[in-house]
Amino acid sequence: MATAKAKLIEKARQFAALPWRDAGHGIEVLLISSRGTGRWVIPKGWPIKGFAPHASAAREAFEEAGVGGIIGKDALGQYSYDKQIDGEVSIACDVEVFPLEVMIQHPSWPEQGQRELRWFPREDAAGAVQEPGLARLIRKLK
């Protein structure tokens, strides 16, 4: 549980994939539940040594959602949020977001069963996330 005593530490950088597909009636976005709060988010994580930013984002999409496909090498943009760690520390994070056209849902992946996955119409996905900057990026997709 977060307290008023949470300490803010230096700004950090993360990379995220914005998984999407053309469902024939419009763009759909895959959101996943956060393990800590259960809120709707996109797959994201810390930079992975030896990986380009877009490759780190694609790796997070596999580990957290079990999806793969065509990852854009250019970011759609970025958004900011405060990552809470054990209610004691808050890390201000800038998240660089890369579009991921989903081509495959793997039968198994590292965080399978730890998160809920749900496809949303683009506008519904934008409304489901808490970060205004992420909502703007979802609306901007394709």
pLDDT at 7: 55
Three-point CA angle 108, 114, 116, nearest 5°: 90
Exposure string over 6-18, b if 16+ CB within 10 A, otherwise e:
eeeeeeeebbbbb
What are the start-end ranges of the E strands in the chain?
7-22, 27-33, 40-41, 44-45, 67-71, 77-85, 89-105, 117-121
pLDDT at 10: 63
Q: How many CA atoms lie within 13 A of 136 on its CB side?
A: 8
Q: Specify the fold of 7-140.
A: Nucleoside Triphosphate Pyrophosphohydrolase (3.90.79)
- Whole-angstrom distance, CA of residue 69 vs CA of residue 87: 35
pLDDT digits (tens, 9 = 90+) for 88-129: 788 899 999 999 999 999 999 999 999 999 999 999 999 999
The string of DSSP letters for 97-131 reads EEEEEEEEE-S--TTTTSS-EEEEEHHHHHHHBS-
- Whole-angstrom distance, CA of residue 37 vs CA of residue 39: 5
pLDDT at 5: 52
User: DSSP secondary-structure letter at 60?
Assistant: H
Q: Which pTM value belongs to this model?
A: 0.89
pLDDT at 110: 97
pLDDT at 35: 87
From the first residue on, what is the mean pLDDT of each consecutive set of 10 residues in the chain (142 residues)?
51 95 94 91 96 98 98 96 79 95 97 96 97 96 82
pLDDT at 3: 46
